[in-house]
Amino acid sequence: LSPYTIEERIVMSTWVYERWNTGDTIATIARKFVERFQNPAPTKVTMLSWEKKLFATGSIKDLPRSSRTPTRHETCAAVEESINRSPLKSTRKRSAELGIPRSTIREHMKKDLGIRPWRPSFVNELSDNDRDNRKECCSELLNTFATIPSRGKVFFSDECAIYRSDQKRNVFFWSKENPHYMEEIEHKPPHVMMWAALNARHVIGPYFFNGSVNHKSYLEMLQNWFVPELDALGLRQDVWLQQDGAPPHYALSVREFLNDSFP
């Protein structure tokens, strides 16, 4: 039990709290305490602790303590129940929530529960028809390019957004088995767009767009950079160019240029 009374703690906490207005130092407050209560002053750490407790909780009393320490089985069960309820919560937040040391939580996960962290696969949001359309497209491509040499003539192209900040490394799903968890990503956060194309023998790129990609910037890239790169390799007359369904790829001016460049 504390050797100081409730009155002594409240008075000390009030003096410490008001020291910014009164100009009193911790040493001055300690001397005032001795003069008033004829009792040795508490340490500086204790003074600040009392002040924080009183003005944060409204009470200066010590919290009641349990007479029994939880067993390892009980803490393990609490950790398992927390993981089942919130598998995405970090060990740091779980520790604060349960009042169990972070090291103990990790030990329960590894040794007792056999739980490990899994990273989600971040994928673009898809509509109900997108998966069927992808499967049909793959079947048509396999029929069109039935031989290995013909497949080597296809240049597969795509754009990649390089984000200013990325939280993928901080996301975990805690589970005993791989949950194959997926996390949908926000559309159009701040980023830089990069484009590249490749076939069985060559990689062309990367090309960085100055700003967002629209039909004008995409057509300018094809005219002034991609096609000249193919010409330099002597490949333009014997290749196919694959691109996805982004709106800039299907603008009339882009399609007309591609039809003229790749008859």
Tokens, residue 98: 């349960």
Q: What is the pLDDT of residues 34-78, one digit of tens each?
A: 999 998 999 999 999 888 888 887 888 766 665 566 788 888 999
Residue 191 β-bridge partners: 163
R_g (Cα) of the chain, nearest Å: 33
Instruction: Give the residue from 15, 83, 79, 13 showing the smallest Cα distance to 48.
Output: 13
| 218 backbone dihedrals φ, ψ, rounded to 5° | -70, -45
Q: What is the spatial distance between Cα 1 and Cα 84, in angstroms, rounded to a whole number?
A: 39
- Write down the domain spans for the chain: 6-57, 72-114, 122-261
Contacts of 60 (CB under 8 A, 6+ apart): 6, 9, 10, 13, 50, 53, 54
Q: Is the pTM of this model over 0.75?
A: no
Taking the C-alpha atoms of residue 193 and residue 162, their distance in angstroms, rounded to an integer, is: 6
The neighbouring-strand residues paired with 155 are 241
- At the topology level, CATH places domain 122-261 in Nucleotidyltransferase; domain 5 (3.30.420)
Position 191 scores a pLDDT of 77
pLDDT value, residue 263: 67
Can you tell me the mean pLDDT for 15-24?
Answer: 90
What confidence tens digit (pLDDT) does each residue in 182-241 have?
766 666 667 788 999 988 888 988 999 887 888 999 999 999 999 898 888 887 777 888
pLDDT at 157 over 80: yes
